[in-house]
Chains A and B, each alone.
Chain A
Amino acid sequence: MATTLLSLEQLPQRQRATVAGIAWDRLSAPEGRRLRELGFDEGVGIEVLHRARIGGGPIACRIGRMTVALRRRVAGAIHVDPLTS
């Protein structure tokens, strides 16, 4: 299973994926805790829904059954495994 890992920031919009891993060391402690509380965890289904394109604004992604807004720097610390359909 040699799939290429992307960060959530690079994941194309509407491309389904699963969370492969999270670089906790690149996040502050409160950021990491909030991410966990919002349900970010290895193996959870994820998809980028919207990008506030102008000037690198935040992204909105679906995680589980929830929609969460994140800044790009945090999205860059989340590694995802795109599902090949």
Chain B
Amino acid sequence: MNPAPLVALVGNPNAGKSALFNALTGARQKVGNYPGVTVERHAGRMALPDGRPVELLDLPGTYSLEPSSPDERVTRDVVTGAQAGERLPDAIVVVVDASNLDNHLRFTLQLIALGLPVVVALNMYDLAERDGLKLDPQALARELGVPVVPTVAVRKRGIDDLKEALAELVTPGATALRPSDPVLHADIATLQRRARQIAMAATISETPVRRWTHMLDSVALHPVFGVLLLFVVLFVMFQAVFFAGAAPADAIASGFDWLAGLVKQVMPESILRSLITDGAIAGVGAVIKFLPQILIMFFFILVLEASGYMVRAAFLMDRIMASVGLSGRAFIPLLSSFACAVPGIMSTRTIEDEKDRLTTILIAPLMTCSARLPVYTLVIGAMIPNVRVLPFVGLQGLVMLGLYIMGVAGAFVVALVLRRTVTKGASSGFMMEMPKYQLPSVRDLAIGLWSRAEIFLKRAGTTIAFTTIVLWALLSFPQVPRDSHVSQVNYSVAGRIANTIEPAFRPIGFNRDIVLALIPAMAAREVSVAALGTVYAIDTAGGDDETKMAQTLHKRWSLATALAFLIWFVFAPQCISTIAVTRRETNGWKWPAFMVGYLFLLAYIMAGITYWLAVFAGL
């Protein structure tokens, strides 16, 4: 049997291509990677009206067939049949923004010239009408020589017509229209002029209405109100992550405690029971507890992106980013890194300039990611007095804010230094299309959130849970003899490793328990909470609930040590996933090695300075 026909979705950025892809495939999609490059491959399946299956490919958005980034190169190579491991598509759906015809038609002309069967999706048709633009799709089809279907992907309109049109294109024996217009092979300026002529011919009338986007922009891009608005947005986002995320996180934690209790009831005391409750359940629970906060953070990032606000934020931040040698584009990946550096680093693909991109990747781990939250929350809750320094301003919250600011300030200083040394070069520009504002669709948000949750849980199910079990083993073996005076922690493999390297950490105020917790926390920062819990739970042979843990820390740590520990986590690259993704994104071990080296050095120095300042201040 022949494989299902392959149809590629191609178009300019901001044409609503991904929304159309979601509308056509629903949840039946698969995200993979193109071999050898770091470009995501989004594929999905859909059924034509006659029931035939079609494989749909969502290609990265690009402005032309002259690539200026790896993403754009993939798009060109797929539609020309040059991409390794991908067959030449049987048809192309060119997604075009209806209110931006002159620009998007230029690329459409280039694609039609390739000779593959083409259907044009005249997308965001409703927004064009809202802008007072009346179009004639038939006239456009006549001028282009290919079928044209008006669609509103986010509202699922025109989808059936598009499937209908596709069914004709992929019917075997159907003769593709091969236009022989000589301008199709012309240079970009000629194409542009031809595109403008066609757009003119397809436009019935154009009433100049005051556009929504311009009205909103006069606030969003205002030098004073725009910046204020951005801070309000960021403030709401972080408040939501901290407060709305807390209740479900607690519920999940109690769920796992209940599960561990159940196992303890039905199983006799044994090493296996310990593995299940203290290793597996505790480890997986510590991670899943975290999902609500990550999802809330991603919810905001997806809404900001889909609504068109993200680019406005980049516009406002470009000046500040330029002062450390980056562009406003770096703002988006860095903001995402507050949730997790992994998607943040992955989203640096939109930065064209290689050195800009590399610098952004190298500083992304300094953004306070949500994995640091459990660590900060635990240590701050245990060690910083819960007093108000001003009405509505608590000391604990202030310390938390300080840690966030420290990360950002550190990142800026590092960027400044890197841009003058390791990633020296001319500053690249900031040239970006600002899409129209639009209401994000619930379906697109849901699909986006689902794929993020999947990525996080896969990471949880593998790396973090695995590490927790390894830690449990390191702490449980070899088992201490019954008549020994040495505690299990001291006797275990982990205890012995910690004993060996502990002297190196003594100058920065770290005790053996901390060093021990840092070993498994190389996999992920949040593991250090579970690790401290395991260390103390095993040592004190008691429960590991948070108050007990806080009391234990309070007893065993000085304030100076706690502060040094917090500062360590601002800088230290304790995340295997970040290191792995950096390797993938920079194609080698050189840059991740550099990143790990400089971050550990920075963490050691800054924690040391903090410790000694605190000691001299009498804390």
Question: Which residues of A does B touch, CB under 8 Å?
Answer: 28, 30-31, 33-39, 41, 49-58, 60, 64-71, 73-74
- A64 with B102, Cβ < 8 A, contacts A33-B68, A41-B189 known: yes
B433 close to A (CB within 8 Å): yes
- Find chain B residues with CB under 8 A from A50 CB: 217-218, 221-222, 315
Pair A71/B318 contact, Cβ less than 8 Å: yes
User: How far, in angstroms, from A74 to B428 measured CA to CA in the complex?
Assistant: 11
Pair A30/B68 contact, Cβ less than 8 Å: yes
Pair A54/B223 contact, Cβ less than 8 Å: yes
B352 close to A (CB within 8 Å): yes
User: How far, in angstroms, from A60 to B308 measured CA to CA in the complex?
Assistant: 14
25 interchain pairs (CB within 8 A)?
A30-B352, A31-B429, A31-B431, A33-B68, A34-B68, A36-B192, A37-B64, A37-B188, A41-B189, A49-B214, A50-B222, A52-B221, A54-B319, A55-B319, A57-B315, A57-B316, A57-B318, A58-B315, A58-B319, A64-B102, A66-B103, A67-B217, A68-B432, A69-B318, A70-B429
Which of A49, A68, A74 touches B217 (beta carbons < 8 Å)?
A49
Instruction: Sort A-B residue pairs by CB-CB distance and give the 5 closest, nearest first.
Output: A57-B319, A37-B63, A50-B221, A67-B434, A53-B223
User: In the complex, which residues 99-115 of chain B have their Cβ closer than 8 Å to any Cβ of chain A?
Assistant: 99-103, 106
User: How far, in angstroms, from A52 to B321 measured CA to CA in the complex?
Assistant: 13
User: In the complex, which residues 283-331 of chain B have their Cβ closer than 8 Å to any Cβ of chain A?
Assistant: 311, 314-316, 318-319, 322, 328
15 additional A-B pairs beyond A58-B430, A70-B429, beta carbons within 8 Å, are A31-B431, A34-B63, A34-B68, A36-B189, A37-B64, A38-B63, A39-B103, A64-B102, A66-B100, A67-B213, A68-B431, A68-B434, A69-B434, A71-B322, A74-B431
Pair B63/A64 contact, Cβ less than 8 Å: no
Pair A38/B221 contact, Cβ less than 8 Å: no
Q: How many residues on the B side are at the interface (Cβ–Cβ under 8 A)? A: 37
Pair B318/A52 contact, Cβ less than 8 Å: yes
- Find chain B residues with CB under 8 A from A67 CB: 213, 217, 433-434
> Which of A51, A57, A68 has the largest count of B CB atoms less than 10 A from its CB?
A57
User: How far, in angstroms, from A43 to B100 measured CA to CA in the complex?
Assistant: 17
Query: Taking the nearest CB of chain A, how far is it from the CB of B183, in angstroms?
Result: 15
Pair B103/A56 contact, Cβ less than 8 Å: no
Which of B63, B100, B193, B352 touches A65 (beta carbons < 8 Å)?
B100
Pair A33/B430 contact, Cβ less than 8 Å: no
Question: Which residues of B does A touch, CB under 8 Å?
Answer: 63-64, 66, 68, 99-103, 106, 188-189, 192-193, 213-214, 217-218, 221-223, 311, 314-316, 318-319, 322, 328, 352, 426, 429-434
- Find chain B residues with CB under 8 A from A55 CB: 319
> Which residue of chain A has its CB nearest to the CB of B227?
A54
User: How far, in angstroms, from A34 to B432 measured CA to CA in the complex?
Assistant: 9
Pair B434/A52 contact, Cβ less than 8 Å: no
> Which of B64, B66, B188, B319 has the largest count of A CB atoms less than 10 A from its CB?
B319
- A69 with B103, Cβ < 8 A, contacts A30-B68, A37-B63 known: no
Query: Taking the nearest CB of chain B, how far is it from the CB of A61, in angstroms?
Result: 10
User: How far, in angstroms, from A74 to B185 measured CA to CA in the complex?
Assistant: 29
- Find chain A residues with CB under 8 A from B189 CB: 36, 41
User: How far, in angstroms, from A28 to B428 measured CA to CA in the complex?
Assistant: 9
User: How far, in angstroms, from A5 to B352 measured CA to CA in the complex?
Assistant: 32
Query: Taking the nearest CB of chain B, how far is it from the CB of A36, in angstroms?
Result: 5
- Find chain A residues with CB under 8 A from B221 CB: 49-50, 52, 60
User: How far, in angstroms, from A65 to B213 measured CA to CA in the complex?
Assistant: 12
Pair A52/B316 contact, Cβ less than 8 Å: yes
- Find chain B residues with CB under 8 A from A38 CB: 63, 103, 431, 433
- A69 with B319, Cβ < 8 A, contacts A36-B189, A50-B221, A52-B223 known: no
> Which residue of chain B has its CB nearest to the CB of A56?
B319
- Find chain A residues with CB under 8 A from B218 CB: 50
> Which of A34, A38, A50, A67 has the largest count of B CB atoms less than 10 A from its CB?
A67
- Find chain B residues with CB under 8 A from A57 CB: 315-316, 318-319
Pair A60/B217 contact, Cβ less than 8 Å: yes
User: How far, in angstroms, from A40 to B266 measured CA to CA in the complex?
Assistant: 73
- Find chain A residues with CB under 8 A from B429 CB: 28, 31, 70-71, 73-74
Pair A69/B315 contact, Cβ less than 8 Å: yes
- Find chain B residues with CB under 8 A from A30 CB: 68, 352
